[in-house]
Amino acid sequence: MTKPFRFCPSCSSGLPGRGEEGTIVCPNCRRHWYYNPSPATGAVIVRDGRALVCRRAFEPEAGKYDLPGGFLRVGEHPVDGLKREVSEELGLEIDVETSDLVLFATHTYGDDDTWNLSLCFGARLVSGEPTPADDVAEVRWVTLTELDDIELAWAHDREAIERALSTPSGR
Protein backbone atom coordinates (compact mmCIF):
# COMPACT_ATOMS: atom_id res chain seq x y z
CA MET A 1 0.00 0.00 0.00
CA THR A 2 1.17 3.49 -0.81
CA LYS A 3 0.88 5.50 2.38
CA PRO A 4 -1.06 8.76 2.12
CA PHE A 5 0.57 12.02 3.25
CA ARG A 6 0.62 12.36 7.06
CA PHE A 7 1.95 15.92 6.99
CA CYS A 8 1.07 18.69 4.57
CA PRO A 9 3.86 18.90 1.95
CA SER A 10 3.20 22.66 1.76
CA CYS A 11 2.97 23.84 5.40
CA SER A 12 4.00 20.75 7.44
CA SER A 13 0.76 20.60 9.45
CA GLY A 14 -0.58 17.20 10.43
CA LEU A 15 -3.15 15.89 7.96
CA PRO A 16 -6.35 13.87 8.40
CA GLY A 17 -6.79 10.61 6.48
CA ARG A 18 -8.04 10.46 2.94
CA GLY A 19 -11.62 11.62 2.61
CA GLU A 20 -14.24 10.49 0.17
CA GLU A 21 -12.64 10.18 -3.31
CA GLY A 22 -9.23 10.03 -1.65
CA THR A 23 -8.56 13.75 -1.46
CA ILE A 24 -6.88 15.17 1.64
CA VAL A 25 -7.55 18.81 2.61
CA CYS A 26 -4.98 20.46 4.88
CA PRO A 27 -6.79 21.87 7.94
CA ASN A 28 -4.20 24.68 8.19
CA CYS A 29 -3.49 26.01 4.68
CA ARG A 30 -6.58 24.43 3.05
CA ARG A 31 -4.52 23.09 0.19
CA HIS A 32 -6.07 20.02 -1.50
CA TRP A 33 -3.87 16.95 -2.02
CA TYR A 34 -5.59 15.00 -4.74
CA TYR A 35 -5.48 11.24 -5.15
CA ASN A 36 -5.35 10.82 -8.91
CA PRO A 37 -3.85 8.42 -11.45
CA SER A 38 -0.48 9.39 -12.94
CA PRO A 39 -0.58 9.98 -16.70
CA ALA A 40 1.70 7.76 -18.75
CA THR A 41 2.11 7.09 -22.46
CA GLY A 42 2.94 4.03 -24.55
CA ALA A 43 3.88 3.63 -28.22
CA VAL A 44 2.96 0.76 -30.49
CA ILE A 45 5.84 1.17 -32.93
CA VAL A 46 4.96 -0.82 -36.03
CA ARG A 47 7.42 -2.14 -38.62
CA ASP A 48 6.65 -4.82 -41.22
CA GLY A 49 3.51 -5.92 -39.39
CA ARG A 50 5.28 -6.31 -36.06
CA ALA A 51 5.12 -4.25 -32.89
CA LEU A 52 8.07 -3.42 -30.66
CA VAL A 53 7.79 -4.61 -27.05
CA CYS A 54 10.28 -4.17 -24.22
CA ARG A 55 11.13 -6.53 -21.38
CA ARG A 56 11.10 -4.55 -18.15
CA ALA A 57 14.38 -4.53 -16.24
CA PHE A 58 12.95 -3.04 -13.04
CA GLU A 59 9.96 -3.47 -10.73
CA PRO A 60 7.06 -3.27 -10.90
CA GLU A 61 6.48 -6.21 -13.25
CA ALA A 62 10.20 -6.83 -13.89
CA GLY A 63 10.74 -9.48 -16.57
CA LYS A 64 7.37 -8.93 -18.23
CA TYR A 65 6.89 -7.04 -21.47
CA ASP A 66 5.30 -3.69 -22.13
CA LEU A 67 5.22 -0.91 -24.68
CA PRO A 68 7.98 1.69 -24.77
CA GLY A 69 6.92 4.94 -23.13
CA GLY A 70 6.67 6.37 -19.66
CA PHE A 71 5.36 9.02 -17.34
CA LEU A 72 4.60 12.54 -18.45
CA ARG A 73 6.38 15.52 -16.99
CA VAL A 74 4.38 18.48 -15.73
CA GLY A 75 3.29 20.68 -18.63
CA GLU A 76 4.35 18.17 -21.26
CA HIS A 77 2.03 17.27 -24.12
CA PRO A 78 1.45 13.49 -24.19
CA VAL A 79 2.85 13.19 -27.72
CA ASP A 80 5.99 15.14 -26.76
CA GLY A 81 6.40 13.06 -23.60
CA LEU A 82 6.07 9.86 -25.59
CA LYS A 83 8.70 10.96 -28.13
CA ARG A 84 11.04 11.90 -25.28
CA GLU A 85 10.55 8.60 -23.46
CA VAL A 86 11.08 6.49 -26.58
CA SER A 87 14.23 8.46 -27.36
CA GLU A 88 15.56 8.02 -23.80
CA GLU A 89 14.63 4.33 -23.55
CA LEU A 90 15.54 3.11 -27.00
CA GLY A 91 17.39 5.88 -28.83
CA LEU A 92 14.62 5.91 -31.44
CA GLU A 93 12.93 8.78 -33.23
CA ILE A 94 9.24 8.12 -33.85
CA ASP A 95 6.53 9.80 -35.87
CA VAL A 96 3.36 10.08 -33.75
CA GLU A 97 0.46 12.53 -33.58
CA THR A 98 -2.49 13.14 -31.27
CA SER A 99 -4.80 11.45 -33.79
CA ASP A 100 -2.74 8.24 -33.43
CA LEU A 101 -4.30 7.55 -30.00
CA VAL A 102 -5.54 3.94 -30.12
CA LEU A 103 -6.50 3.30 -26.51
CA PHE A 104 -6.53 4.69 -23.01
CA ALA A 105 -6.79 2.67 -19.83
CA THR A 106 -6.51 2.99 -16.07
CA HIS A 107 -4.58 0.35 -14.17
CA THR A 108 -2.69 -0.19 -10.95
CA TYR A 109 1.08 0.24 -11.01
CA GLY A 110 2.88 -1.90 -8.45
CA ASP A 111 0.83 -1.09 -5.38
CA ASP A 112 -2.89 -1.78 -5.42
CA ASP A 113 -3.72 1.85 -4.73
CA THR A 114 -1.18 3.45 -7.08
CA TRP A 115 -2.92 4.15 -10.37
CA ASN A 116 -1.87 5.09 -13.88
CA LEU A 117 -3.83 6.61 -16.71
CA SER A 118 -2.17 5.15 -19.80
CA LEU A 119 -2.48 6.68 -23.26
CA CYS A 120 -1.39 4.36 -26.06
CA PHE A 121 -0.54 5.60 -29.55
CA GLY A 122 0.30 3.94 -32.84
CA ALA A 123 3.67 5.23 -34.07
CA ARG A 124 6.03 4.92 -37.03
CA LEU A 125 9.76 4.52 -36.80
CA VAL A 126 11.57 7.49 -38.32
CA SER A 127 15.14 6.43 -37.79
CA GLY A 128 17.46 4.24 -35.79
CA GLU A 129 17.64 0.72 -34.43
CA PRO A 130 16.43 0.18 -30.85
CA THR A 131 19.28 0.58 -28.36
CA PRO A 132 17.85 -0.24 -24.93
CA ALA A 133 18.73 1.93 -21.93
CA ASP A 134 19.20 0.33 -18.52
CA ASP A 135 15.47 0.14 -17.71
CA VAL A 136 14.87 -2.12 -20.72
CA ALA A 137 16.27 -5.66 -20.53
CA GLU A 138 15.51 -6.67 -24.11
CA VAL A 139 13.40 -5.64 -27.09
CA ARG A 140 11.44 -7.81 -29.51
CA TRP A 141 9.43 -7.20 -32.67
CA VAL A 142 6.32 -9.38 -32.38
CA THR A 143 3.32 -10.32 -34.47
CA LEU A 144 -0.10 -10.71 -32.84
CA THR A 145 0.39 -14.48 -32.80
CA GLU A 146 3.79 -14.19 -31.13
CA LEU A 147 2.20 -12.02 -28.43
CA ASP A 148 0.57 -15.19 -27.09
CA ASP A 149 3.98 -16.49 -26.04
CA ILE A 150 5.08 -13.52 -23.97
CA GLU A 151 3.79 -12.22 -20.67
CA LEU A 152 2.61 -8.62 -20.80
CA ALA A 153 2.89 -6.45 -17.71
CA TRP A 154 -0.45 -4.78 -18.47
CA ALA A 155 -3.31 -6.47 -20.27
CA HIS A 156 -4.42 -3.34 -22.12
CA ASP A 157 -1.11 -3.28 -24.04
CA ARG A 158 -2.36 -6.25 -26.04
CA GLU A 159 -5.48 -4.41 -27.12
CA ALA A 160 -3.41 -1.36 -28.06
CA ILE A 161 -1.11 -3.55 -30.17
CA GLU A 162 -4.09 -5.25 -31.84
CA ARG A 163 -5.62 -1.92 -32.73
CA ALA A 164 -2.38 -0.41 -34.04
CA LEU A 165 -1.48 -3.49 -36.10
CA SER A 166 -4.95 -3.64 -37.64
CA THR A 167 -4.78 0.00 -38.79
CA PRO A 168 -3.36 0.47 -42.30
CA SER A 169 0.16 1.95 -42.28
CA GLY A 170 0.15 1.97 -38.51
CA ARG A 171 -2.26 4.90 -38.32
Least Å from the CB of residue 3 to Zn ion:
18
Instruction: State which of residues 10, 38, 131, 166 lies at the interface with Zn ion (CB under 5 A).
Output: 10
Site for Zn ion in 74-103 (CB under 5 A): none
Q: What is the residue-wise DSSP string for 79-143?
A: HHHHHHHHHHHH--EEE--GGGEEEEEEEEESEEEEEEEEEEEEEEEEE------TTEEEEEEE-
Name the residue nearer to Zn ion (CB basis): 1 or 3: 3
Residue 61's closest CA among 111, 113, 117, 120? 111
Residue 8 touching Zn ion (CB under 5 A): yes
Residue 25 touching Zn ion (CB under 5 A): no
Least Å from the CB of residue 25 to Zn ion:
9
DSSP 8-state secondary structure symbol assigned to residue 28 = T
Site for Zn ion in 26-45 (CB under 5 A): 26, 28-29
Q: Which residues bind Zn ion (CB under 5 A)?
A: 8, 10-11, 13, 26, 28-29
